[in-house]
Amino acid sequence: MKWMWYTAAKLPAQNSVDQLTNKALIDGLRMKRQAEANLPVDAKLSEKEITVLRLICEEKSTKEIADEVELSPRTVEAIRDKLKVKTGAKSLAGLVMYAVKSGIIESRPA
C-alpha cells in the first residue's frame, strides 16, 4: 500500500516535468520558425548563385545542378554553402524560403 502512495505522489511531479519539457520544445520551435521567417531579402547574389538557387528549388541534386551549369559538384556545394551564409539560411528549406520571399521563384499553392 505504501508503494502506491509513493507512485501516486510522483505522478503529478512527473507530469509537470513533461509539461515543462514540451513547453521548452514548443518555444524552441517557435523561435526557430521566427528566425527563419526573418531571413534577409536583400542579399546580393550573383547570377550563378541565383541559377543554382533556382535549381535547388526545383529539387535537383548536386550532380544534376553541376551538369546543368557545367561546374563540378564540389563547386556547386561551395555555392550552396555561400548562399546559406549570404541569406542567413541554415538549411535547404531556408534557402527555398529565401527564394520565395525575395521573388527569385514564385510560390505555388499546394
Q: What pLDDT, on a 0 to 100 scale, did the predictor assign at position 5?
A: 46
- Per-position pLDDT tens, the chain of length 110: 444 444 555 555 555 557 777 777 776 666 666 555 555 667 799 999 999 999 999 999 999 999 999 999 999 999 999 999 999 999 999 999 999 988 988 877 65
Whole-number pLDDT of residue 107 = 72
Q: Looking at residue 3, what is its pLDDT?
A: 47
Residues 6 or more apart from 99 whose CB is under 8 A from it?
A: 53, 54, 56, 57, 105
Fold of 47-101: Arc Repressor Mutant, subunit A (1.10.10)
CB 34 within 8 A of CB 24: no
